[in-house]
Structure 1
């Protein structure tokens, strides 16, 4: 019996349009092995659409993808469209309307990928780098509360309010602690309660409350500045890091760089209750400098597809994709230029597909 899923594809801008086809090719290949089929509906929502029509997506865009099983996104952003316009015109409305309050960012060092840290060992070995950043994805520092006042005057000012709710902090903490029970039973909570006087002590107190429901998980709280240094100095000491929207955003990109290339890094914007579709995307951005040259690294999108398989209830298929990525990189024979090689996007995609076959 075949399980069918309907996937909304949003290739977006730049290399986003180049890495989505490799991801769907991998999904189709592994799906055939596991009795899973995928149907795709593609949407042209992008900065190009904004330039032509004045909006990143149509007014009924959310309704068009609401009933899909998942969303696979390539990248968003292009010259001429301010980043806050592209982000708030597409990604953030999807994340918030569909209650994708978990941003999941797995980080590992792969054998065959050179980390800028000489002592960073592959994540599938003892003492290797293998961690997950669990970022709160719908509130915190990225709120809409605030404004600019006195525009153009000497007294002009901008106010940006951070919004933390008990519900928001509790559910992201619960997700992080629960995830740790299926990993190595340790959580690190990112804070800055010595300098941010209201929201961070509030965060700390709720994380402490939620920890009591997971007695088998050890945890500690770290100030974000010291934590960023430790992620560089000793990344293998971390298991699950839970952080607010801003802190998680910064930490996850830092950790991806520690792993050797942001071109590999995946992400999942999750609605854990599955009331709405979750969205999966590589985090490398649209990379205008290499767009259209066929040299983009497709592994961030392919690994994001693996996360999507996990979320849709096909963990064996998801693990098979990750194994194919790991084995491809281990040989060191087919690496794109961000990994120190000369392979094209198609070359690396074929190498992964060969291992799946």
Structure 2
């Protein structure tokens, strides 16, 4: 029996509603593959911020450091600015634990119609590899002359050779593993320093991996092609901002952001990695019991794979595909009326 100690951060809104289904699925499939789990839950959230003035305690990273992985529900709530919740919890974890790869698989499942007629099951199956700790989301900058006609804000993007190279190496390695190619998102025709630098490092990485085909697209054209021909892409590597936008766009192409998972990876496994659904806290439906648990469950499957259990992870993803293709059980975001519990029970029956 292999044992894993997992940190749970339910967070806000529907976060606390989608993590229990993920735990149920992990326990269920874990029994078959000789894997068991211990859970430690943390109340780090916007509610904690309103109560105590901080999203998490000062020693938060130290509390997580010995865990094998982190499973996060969602963060964000009305009354707490988004930059406060993000920079108070997610970004410190990502940066403190060197989770420099944000991995977002995108797939059109049979039974979940895409809003695009050309996005068909079996044809759209890509992964966005997003640089996760530097780039446009830098801390360098500030504001001057607040509240005056001369007020200004400066935000500096930071691209380092080490930071860009390591995420490119991950993307090229993933493309080799998948038997596909790499598309690099750039904007070097308009952003004169950081994007040409990014392009140079992509070319250097491509030369080190002659067995992996690659190309590059300007971000505006790439966004259009995600809509017009999503089936042509395999591994898309992008900076922090570009990857954030592209992955949410691709999730919409796949039919519902409620399905989309994400992994914040420290590939070297020197620190715990964090897994989370993309859908956010959805305060408008929180407490109704109708949240789609698939984003959290698929994220849990990514966690299984990262922890060294690829067969168990594949079985969970296969069950997701089978339930969507073979039943009419759907939560409201997918056009149905099933509750979170009903949807989870259907998935557990298949497993």
**TM-score, normalised relative to structure 2:** 0.99
Assess if the C-alpha contact under 8 Å between 2:263 and 2:273 holds in 1: yes
Match of 1:15 in 2: 14
State the 1:119 CA deviation: 2.0
What is the DSSP-based 3-state SS (H/G/I as helix, E as strand, rest coil) of the residue aligned with 2:208? Answer: coil
Assess if the C-alpha contact under 8 Å between 2:118 and 2:228 holds in 1: no
Assess if the C-alpha contact under 8 Å between 1:232 and 1:258 holds in 2: yes
Aligned 1:256-271 pairs, distance under 5 A: 256-271=251-266
What is the DSSP-based 3-state SS (H/G/I as helix, E as strand, rest coil) of the residue aligned with 2:111? Answer: coil
Aligned 1:18-37 pairs, distance under 5 A: 18-37=17-36
State the 1:331 CA deviation: 1.9
Match of 2:268 in 1: 273
Q: Note if 1:236 corresponds to 2:235.
A: no
Q: Distance in 1 between matches of 2:322 and 2:273?
A: 28
Q: Distance in 1 between matches of 2:23 and 2:213?
A: 39
Aligned 1:98-113 pairs, distance under 5 A: 98-113=97-112
State the 1:185 CA deviation: 2.3
What is the DSSP-based 3-state SS (H/G/I as helix, E as strand, rest coil) of the residue aligned with 2:164? Answer: helix
Match of 1:335 in 2: 330
Q: Distance in 2 between matches of 1:151 and 1:81?
A: 21
Q: Distance in 2 between matches of 1:133 and 1:89?
A: 25
Aligned counterpart in structure 2 of residue 178 of structure 1, from 145, 169, 173: 173
Q: Distance in 1 between matches of 2:207 and 2:128?
A: 21
What is the DSSP-based 3-state SS (H/G/I as helix, E as strand, rest coil) of the residue aligned with 1:329? Answer: helix
Q: Distance in 2 between matches of 1:96 and 1:69?
A: 17
What is the DSSP-based 3-state SS (H/G/I as helix, E as strand, rest coil) of the residue aligned with 1:262? Answer: coil
Give the ranges of 4+ consecutive aligned residues of structure 1 lying more than 4 Å apart after TM superposition: none
CA offset digits 1:51-106 (Å, max 9, x no partner): 10000001111100011000000000001100000000000000000000000000
State the 1:184 CA deviation: 3.0
Assess if the C-alpha contact under 8 Å between 2:103 and 2:130 holds in 1: yes
Q: Distance in 2 between matches of 1:185 and 1:260?
A: 23
The size of the alignment, in residue pairs, is 351
Q: Distance in 1 between matches of 2:54 and 2:283?
A: 20
Q: Note if 1:285 corresponds to 2:289.
A: no
Aligned 1:120-159 pairs, distance under 5 A: 120-123=119-122, 128-159=123-154
What is the DSSP-based 3-state SS (H/G/I as helix, E as strand, rest coil) of the residue aligned with 1:182? Answer: helix
Assess if the C-alpha contact under 8 Å between 2:264 and 2:273 holds in 1: yes
Q: Distance in 1 between matches of 2:139 and 2:299?
A: 28
**Alignment root-mean-square deviation, CA:** 0.5
Aligned counterpart in structure 2 of residue 344 of structure 1, from 330, 339, 343: 339
Q: Distance in 2 between matches of 1:214 and 1:355?
A: 41
Aligned counterpart in structure 2 of residue 211 of structure 1, from 177, 197, 206: 206
Q: Distance in 2 between matches of 1:185 and 1:168?
A: 23
Q: Distance in 1 between matches of 2:175 and 2:233?
A: 11
Q: Distance in 1 between matches of 2:334 and 2:54?
A: 35
Assess if the C-alpha contact under 8 Å between 1:185 and 1:216 holds in 2: no
Instruction: Could you tell me which runs of 5 or more consecutive residues in structure 1 were left unpaired when the two chains were aligned.
Output: none
